[in-house]
Structure 1
Amino acid sequence: MSSSVDWQAAVRRAGSLAPPGPAGTPAELRALVQVLRRAAREAPEHVGEITGLTAAAEQVREVPVFVVDRPRWSQANVEMFSRLTDGLLPATVVPGSSRMAAEEMGVVLAVLSTKVLGQFDPFTDDRGRLLLVAPNVRKIERELNLDAMDFRLWVCLHEQTHAVQFAAAPWLAEHLGERMRRLVGRVSDTTDGAARLGRALRGIVEAVSSAVAGTPASERPDELGGPLVDAFLDEEERAELAEIVAVMSLLEGHADVVMDEVGPARLPSVRHIRAAFDKRRDGTSTGDVVLRRVLGMDAKVAQYRNGAGFVRAVVAQVGHDGLNAVWTSPEALPTAAEVADPAAWVRRIHG
């Protein structure tokens, strides 16, 4: 018996399907890479000044930075998935099923590889690694007519905030990875595959129907990973995922708040970038809306907004120093209920 996913086949399929991105002269592309690397080196200092996590920001200077294309981003994520699920996925007993799973993963990664601007991967080693997807950065700054220098630093501020978070909480990667592994283990160690598949298919149909009908996407905290993911989980698994999503909402919302607090003195066009970028996140075409809902990308947008709301409310009450209590231990992380009720977290942690 072999692994239930042919990881290398997934890498090949994602690489073959992903479009290359906008063209440029060799000099333009070299300049893009150089500016992104420089922005990645500059960003931690700003993050430290805003958050007060100066010691963690100093550590982030040692985090390796990779400016990648879309296939390499997919490859890096396959490496991360295989590492997180090592020993958890059942061995395949049906000929060809591992290749089929790889093909499906490759298709999804190819789509996502055209959307992601950057990603901090905390699971690779003790320091983690930062990935910046150059063609996507170039594509968005052109489409939205953004100041390229400002936008590239703005992207790096978000991703390097994640690096600072994990440096400030050296226990966080293991804690989050273990919770993910526990959930994957529960889902894979079941015998009700047919029932799960039926729920997932119904979820897809509902997502497509609502998108075509123009029904607004929900941002309720109980809608965790989009209809495809939610329909596939039982009640206990949904509760486990809710707590993982609470942590992810904190991380994403915190990064969103920090990248905007740099302010116009350092990033003159920051307000224009935020307005244009939020409008883009909302999507316009029916096809785009359908895809985002089926893949759970609407849920990802909700994470940004709910998490940012939590962070802003906490900072308004106790400042960034008070918020930084979340990085002290797993017990200090907000629960799913507290993300929706920031005052409850402040009462529990600060009295």
Structure 2
Amino acid sequence: MSNPPFGFGFPDPDKRPDDESSGAGGPSGSGADPFQQLGQMLSQLGQMLSQAGSSSGPVNYDLAKQIALQRLGSEGQLGFAAGDRTGEGAVRDSARLAELWLDEATILPTGASVTAAWTARDWIEKTLPTWQRLCDPVAKQVSSAWMQALPEEAKQAAGPLLSMVGQMGGMAFGSQLGNALAGLASEVLTSTDIGLPLGPESTSALLPKNIEKFTEGLERPASEVLVFLAAREAAHQRLFAHVPWLRQRLLATVEEFASGITVDTSALEQLAGQIDPANPASIEQVMSSGLLEPQTTPEQKAALGRLETLLALVEGWVDVVVAEATGDRLPGAEALRETLRRRRATGGPAEQTFATLVGLELRPRRMRSASALWKLVGDRHGMKSRDTLWSHPDLMPTAEDLDDPIGFAERLGDTGALGEGIDPIAELERTERAEGDSGTVDKDKDDGGKEGETDEDGGEGAAGREPGDA
């Protein structure tokens, strides 16, 4: 993985929000005014110290929000071009038009009851509760893992300073998250732009100022781009609203990854002599040295593989449905579709977020494979059969199916039930037989897949597994 997981490596205060492509930490800002850099560093340090003791959790979210909003500055308050009083109405009109078109492209009904135009600041405030659920398990496990693995001699020497170390960790995590959120808030186009249901339920949200920047250079009318992005947002909302297991399964997979975090105790023993309980700076040096990075277990690799597969299936389905809804109506629909694919391939917000959070990069090739699979199933068996697969996680394509979409479509035809929807019992029996063939005996809980198995696109341990199993 190209970036350290959430909580490892301290953020670089010199990085601008538009430079957040490398996750946490790392040198940057070469050529910048050194006095300006020093001022930024002192300002951020002052924020961290002023927030000490304000949060007892694994992540100081008050600090994260404060840093994110400060880095956005006045730009984060802009939703429309100066003097544009029709922007919010344009968002609502685009959303209504997109919903009408989507009615003909999917059996899933409208999922959003509210359509909103957000600023970057709105995005941070509205999505922070979901980020808390995503980040807490990882940060909590990271903190407890290295604290528990600390040699007894070091614990006794540190004494009451251990609680201060915990606060320092919470501030470090909060600072890292704040910088990441600022970068994302300046780029995301909709509330579901990274593939997760981050915003409030039943709320479809677009960020007009970010969309305005995105539209520059596309040589397409702004109204066309707005309708296309509104369609993508509406399609995500339909999926998250009417597939009740999906939201929980996505977040639970991140929690499963966090539960397996461990720290190499031998590295801690080597560093024990470097910790001076009277010198907090020595603790910071140990935390940022890289020697305390967690060890990735086969179970964690399997969880990341399932998360990658499920996210690819979501994005692939949205890609196909929006293409069918807009293809004959928007002249630039196909060009916009490919532009968004390239945006993801060159390191869009989804890859940055997951690389920093859990060490996962949402690989575009898996998304393209998922899109090809959904298109094939729809062409062969119809829209209803395609969308009915979302009715239960055990009916969903696996990572192995993404490698063989034709075989998956043929198996669906063999069920003999596509006229009335998929037969869940037949599919469950097929899954049980597959698990029995691979030596799996526990049908209630996925054991994480085959150890060390890697598919050709980098999804590890996910072959033959259902993407939502947690």
Q: TM-score range by the shorter chain?
A: 0.7 to 0.9
Match of 2:118 in 1: 68
Are the aligned partners of 1:246 and 1:335 in contact in 2 as well (CA < 8 Å)? Answer: yes
Q: What are the Cα deviations for residues 25-65 of structure 1, in whole angstroms up to 9, with x where unaligned?
A: 5432x3222211222233223222112x1xx324x242x33
Could you tell me which of 204, 217, 226 is aligned with 1:152?
A: 226
Q: Distance in 1 between matches of 2:59 and 2:117?
A: 27
Task: Tell which deviates more after alignment, 295-304 or 251-260.
Answer: 295-304
The match for 1:101 among 161, 173, 184 is 173
Matches within 5 A, 1:20-31: 20=75, 25-28=81-84, 30-31=85-86
2:405: which partner in 1? 342
Q: Which runs of 5+ in 1 are unaligned?
A: 197-229
Match of 2:88 among 11, 30, 33: 33
Distance 2:267 2:362 in 1: 23
Displacement of 1:348 after TM fit?
A: 4.5
Q: 52, 57, 70: which one pairs with 2:109? A: 57
Letter of the 1:37 partner, please give it. Answer: R
Q: Which residue in the other structure is 2:191 paired with?
A: 119
User: Matches of 2:79 and 2:383 in 1, distance apart?
Assistant: 42
Match of 2:371 in 1: 308
Q: Which residue type is aligned with residue 189 of structure 2?
A: L
Residue 77 of structure 1 pairs with residue 117 of structure 2: no
Aligned mates of 2:134, 2:213 — CA distance in 1: 31
The change in CA–CA distance for 1:129 and 1:267 in structure 2 (over 3 A counts) is: same
Q: Structure 1 residues 11, 300: CA separation in 2 closer, same or farther (over 3 Å shift)? A: farther
| Amino acid in structure 1 at the alignment position of 2:301 | R
Quote how far apart the aligned CAs of 1:329 are: 0.5
- C-alpha RMSD of matched pairs (Å): 3.5
SS in 2 for 1:233: coil
Query: Could you say which residue in structure 2 is the equivalent of 1:251?
Result: 314
Deviation at 1:186, TM superposition (A): 2.7
* Corresponding residue of 1:204: none
Q: How high is the sequence identity, in percent, across the aligned residues?
A: 22
TM-score normalised by length of structure 2: 0.57
Distance 1:349 1:324 in 2: 13
Aligned length: 305
1:143 deviates by 3.0
- 1:253, distance to aligned residue in structure 2 (A): 0.9
Report the Cα distance in structure 2 between the residues aligned to 1:49 and 1:193, rounded to whole angstroms. 57
* Contact residue 94 and residue 227 of structure 2 kept, 8 A: yes
Counterparts of 1:169-248 in structure 2, within 5 Å, are: 169-187=243-261, 190-192=262-264, 233-248=296-311
* Partner Cα distance (1:24, 1:177) in 2: 32
Provide the C-alpha distance between the structure 2 equivalents of 1:76 and 1:194, rounded to a whole number of angstroms: 42
Do 1:10 and 1:78's aligned partners in 2 also have CA atoms closer than 8 Å?
A: no
User: Partner amino acid for 2:118?
Assistant: V
Residue type of the alignment partner of 1:310: L
Aligned equivalent of 2:209, options 135, 147, 154: 135
Does the Cα contact within 8 Å between 2:312 and 2:362 map onto a contact in 1?
no
Letter in 2 for 1:177: L
Q: Please, which moves more after superposition, 332-341 or 299-308? A: 299-308
Task: Give the distance between the partners of 1:194 and 1:77, measured in 2 at CA.
Answer: 39
Q: Which residue of 2 aligns with 1:218?
A: none
**What is the rounded CA distance, in whole Å, between the counterparts of 2:127 and 2:79 in structure 1?**
24
Q: TM-score, normalised by structure 1?
A: 0.74
SS at match of 1:131: strand
Task: Tell me the SS of whatever aligns to 2:116.
Answer: strand
1:12 deviates by 1.5
In 1: Cα distance, 2:176 partner to 2:335 partner: 37
- Residues 122, 129 of structure 1: 8 Å contact kept: no
Distance (Å, rounded) in 2 between the aligned partners of 1:185 and 1:297: 16
| 8 Å contact kept, 2:64–2:174 | yes
Match of 1:266 among 308, 313, 329: 329
Give 1 or 2: higher helix fraction: 1
145 and 171 in structure 1: CA distance in 2 versus 1, 3 angstrom threshold? same
Residue 101 of structure 2 is aligned to residue 46 of structure 1: yes
Against the structure 1 CA distance between its residues 156 and 303, is the aligned structure 2 distance closer, same or farther, given a 3 Å change threshold?
Answer: farther
Could you tell me how far 1:234 is from its partner in structure 2? 2.2
Q: Does 1:325 align with 2:399?
A: no
**Deviation of residue 132 (structure 1)?**
1.4
Unpaired segments ≥5 residues, structure 2: 1-54, 145-162, 269-292, 415-470
The residue aligned with 1:10 is 64
Distance 2:318 2:87 in 1: 23
Say whether the 8 Å CA contact 2:231–2:322 is kept in structure 1: yes
